[in-house]
A and B are shown apart, each in its own frame.
Chain A
């Protein structure tokens, strides 16, 4: 399986859960699992080759000019991480199926999870650092969605925001670092960068690049002082915490440090920054973890602590330490995922995660107790579990490390960290599961079903298996991965017994002291609680607040909801820019002679100006304004005819008719006059801006039309290629459906969306609220006509309908060669149909047709899209059209073009959108008390009583 496909699979699969949730929760979880399993299979198929030391690559050119290509490669390191991401991902999917309650939107959850998974897989497979950055930012975004999954919890939203802010800011720093790195080497390809250690470390830019990249890695991996976001991200559902904080998100930072290890490590800067940060994080977080009562908070800080441990090992810069780091990454993923899931089980069953309210669960939840025991003992580093092995190796490495010439700092502090680690691990077991059974649990606890404990149990089994037979199970994997990290051959020897080496004594001290700490937990906790300590969230909020306020101030000032203001700002800016250009540039009058003014266009111009001027005076009378707008539209279309643009004229006229009709119908439910709402000064200002903009545009057009074109126009090409290339002699139509078909496709999509939005707005309006109440209490503000569906109109529109439809078909068919086309035909047919509705009423007419307008829009866009896709089958680019000449018996030779299919899509969308607008207006009318007549023509019923009384 191609690596590009493996990286793309989760993203493609993310479309499925949202759809399949309708088939049930099991189907949803199964398909998510299947996608993940498929991607995992893809990785495993490459495993034998990678184990032999080969590197699998896949290259797709994306933006070669920027050096951004979709290049992927898979070596040992990538394989380990991809395996962890997808393997633990599978277990999480299983676990989440049973963890999420029926109230949680599961489709959404799995979609977010797959998006996140895809981003993670993308990071570990990328061979291009720019691509890696793209995936890096994607993990920040998708983890934001996952952490904030419970939108109703303020902690969830705030935690998600904090995580996004911290990791996003780190990501920005990393972009800078990566670009510097790419500049030093002259290539953005990771494989090339990894071979240029000397070049990079000799560069003056090495240090800034190192700092920026480490900022990215440290924020992602929650290293001191950026560790505070991780505990707050615990507001997420437990499957998310288990996934993000055991195997994926926070390991991304470690992955990056491991990936860059060959070129960045080995210098004193690297050692002192990375190893020191790791050490501080490890000890500090382990200490805090001991005093956390929330199960997940305890696990969160222990995660931070273990991340610090791995960071420190990578920071040592020796091949042996890097190998241990790799081994501990595997171990940590297994036991921490199991612990998180078990914490979720405890929370799920007892409805609390507060250790103080728990205890004595070992008899009530024996299976969970067993799993937690195995995983927590491994976390404490008790033989023969896997945590013991990596901790021993870690302690061994610290003994050989000198920090600022001091042999003692590293081993002592590491032992203290290990001691705290032992203490909180034992506390997790002792205070939650041991002790007497209590009778005040919020809910009666018992072991969950198999589905829920299967995943953590499997991980616990792995903890034991790796612990007992490390070389058989993961020895080869660690060797391959470590070789990839250090860029050479790694020596791997993992064993339980090394003799009476210092590490053994350190381990024994740590366990003993840890037990003492646990015994003295009560007094220690009192001491801890009485000492003041910085509250990370308060500090974070205090730092963020001025930024948020500044952003809000700017936004509020610019986006206060007054459309007139937006328009004024935009118009003035454009005017100022235009004036600036005019002032700073040179200007010579145009050279083209003006054509003489003919009387007929002059009359048309006067009419146009007259109507526009009258609009200024009469615009408060809305009906009159509408009539004047109609006059303007009509004159514009006459102008198009005069200037030999029949296509435009046809379109303009039909659009004009359709809009005036719809506006008239809408006007029925609007006040007939616009009230004066603004002051005279304000109107004067707006009038000034409008006049300036109008005159400016006029001047611009004048300037353009009095000159020849500065460049040869594209019109020549279109005129020359319309017939040979597009198969039509109507250049306008060929441009629409062929040359610029993609634009048209976008436009009809917008048109369809506009129709749907009108429908949605009306739907929201009628759902209740003040507007709906007003409609329900609607009293016509004007006397109604006696016959609302007059006989003459009904008969006439029936007669016109077939002829109008024929005209529509005619305009559609001739469109490719003569004025016409799908858009105009759609409007003509829509107008003919609207006439039927107006004559006999919407309810009556709608009962006599079976076309769903939503579907019409959908079909229109789909047909146009499929027509474009069809050209792929002929191995041509999207939306290449073709045409041919055909001969049928009894008929003349005729032409068929695929563009006609596209035009059909345009036609359907136009009809659907216009009719949907009509349907929306009629829904308002029906809510306002409009009745549906049984016969095609009838009289206004409510008028009768009054008239009878008048007689």
Chain B
């Protein structure tokens, strides 16, 4: 039983290491930003995720303590990594992309965003212009 666990943990660690290595290599190797984006996301999700699961298993089986930290970390990673990647892609498109090369958004806007068509609420201008300074008393 323990040996199986050891093998599983080792496999997870090795796989995680490979993903980390491949991710880092890809970051250097791939030609442009959009393709490069693939490499580090694999490294963070699969690479780090593998290490975390391995750690969780290790502590559960060999140390008899169930640690939830790893699960939380995994969750944070899985939640933030796609958004980070999405933002990098967006920033790239924003700065270097051409609107005509992109697929049509099917809306009035150049960006495909969530929109509630029933309720078009306009942003509010809250800027207040400061009052002119009172005339200086003459003494």
Contacts and interface: CB of A to CB of B under 8 A. Distances in A.
A250 to B, nearest CB: 31
A932 B130 contact: no
A939 B113 contact: yes
A744 B137 CA distance: 47
A931 B72 contact: no
B127 interface: yes
A931 B123 contact: yes
Contacts of B72: 803, 807
B94 A785 contact: yes
B122 A934 contact: yes
Interface stretch (A177-185, A674-682, A902-910, A940-948): A940-948
Contacts of B99: 947, 950
B125 A931 contact: yes
A787 B113 contact: yes
Interface string A920-947: 0000001101111111011101011001
A786 B76 contact: no
B139 interface: yes
B79 A792 contact: no
B121 to A, nearest CB: 4
B56 to A, nearest CB: 18
B92 to A, nearest CB: 11
Interface string B120-139: 01111111011001000001
Nearest to B123: A931
B116 to A, nearest CB: 7
Contacts of B86: 790, 792
B111 A926 contact: no
Given A791-B114, A796-B79, A938-B123, A944 B90 contact: no
A776 B129 contact: yes
A539 interface: no
A767 B134 CA distance: 12
Contact of A932 (B83, B108, B126): B126
Given A792-B82, A932-B124, A941-B122, 11 more contacts: A766-B130, A786-B109, A792-B83, A796-B83, A803-B75, A929-B127, A930-B127, A931-B124, A939-B111, A944-B108, A947-B99
A843 interface: yes
A935 B139 contact: no
A790 B127 contact: no
Contacts of B133: 768
B80 interface: yes
B127 A927 contact: yes
Interface in A103-152: 152
B130 A772 contact: yes
B109 A934 contact: no
Nearest to A930: B127
Contacts of B18: none
Interface in B33-86: 72, 75-76, 79-80, 82-83, 86
Contacts of B110: 786, 943, 947, 950-951
Contacts of A799: 79
Contacts of A767: 130
A792 B124 CA distance: 23
A799 B75 CA distance: 11
A34 interface: no
19 contacts: A766-B130, A772-B130, A783-B95, A786-B111, A796-B80, A930-B127, A931-B125, A932-B123, A932-B124, A932-B125, A933-B124, A934-B121, A934-B124, A937-B113, A937-B114, A939-B109, A939-B111, A941-B123, A950-B110
Contacts of A944: 108-109
Across the A-B interface, the 4 shortest Cβ-Cβ residue pairs: A786-B111, A931-B123, A934-B121, A947-B110
Chain A interface size, under 10 / 10 to 19 / 20 to 34 / 35 or more? 35 or more
A935 B82 CA distance: 23
B112 to A, nearest CB: 9
A800 interface: yes
B113 A843 contact: no
A935 B130 contact: no
A660 interface: no
A351 to B, nearest CB: 15
Nearest to B114: A791
Nearest to A946: B110
Nearest to B121: A934
B131 to A, nearest CB: 9
Contacts of B95: 783
A665 to B, nearest CB: 16
Interface string A806-824: 0100000000000000000
Contact of B113 (A152, A791, A796, A934): A791
A793 interface: yes
Nearest to A927: B127
B98 to A, nearest CB: 10
Interface in A747-784: 766-768, 772, 776, 783
Nearest to A941: B123
Nearest to B113: A787
A841 to B, nearest CB: 9
A933 B115 CA distance: 13
Nearest to B100: A950
Given A786-B110, A937-B113, A939-B113, A152 B126 contact: no
Contacts of B129: 776
Most chain A CB within 10 A, of B79, B87, B114, B139, is at B114
Given A772-B130, A934-B124, A937-B114, A948 B79 contact: no
Contact of B83 (A793, A803, A935): A793
Contacts of A772: 130
Contact of B127 (A800, A926, A938): A926
A785 B124 contact: no
Contacts of A926: 126-127
A930 B128 CA distance: 11
A800 B75 CA distance: 9
B111 A787 contact: yes
Given A152-B139, A929-B127, A941-B123, A935 B113 contact: no
A935 B126 CA distance: 15
A791 B90 CA distance: 13
A944 B116 CA distance: 17
B121 A935 contact: yes
A937 B109 CA distance: 14
Contacts of A807: 72
A935 B116 contact: yes
Contacts of A766: 130
Contacts of B82: 792
Contacts of B94: 783, 785-786
Interface string A836-849: 00000001000000
Given A803-B72, A947-B110, A933 B83 contact: no
Contacts of A786: 94, 109-111, 113
Nearest to B137: A152
Nearest to A785: B94
A740 to B, nearest CB: 30
B90 A931 contact: no
A768 B123 contact: no
Contacts of A783: 94-95
A948 B83 contact: no
Contacts of A929: 125, 127
Contacts of A768: 130, 133
Interface string A233-276: 00000000000000000000000000000000000000000000
Contacts of B122: 934, 941
Nearest to B109: A939
Contact of A843 (B76, B87, B116, B126): B126
B126 A785 contact: no
B73 to A, nearest CB: 11
B109 to A, nearest CB: 6
B33 to A, nearest CB: 16
B58 to A, nearest CB: 19
A737 B114 CA distance: 48
A398 B76 CA distance: 97
A777 to B, nearest CB: 12
A106 to B, nearest CB: 20
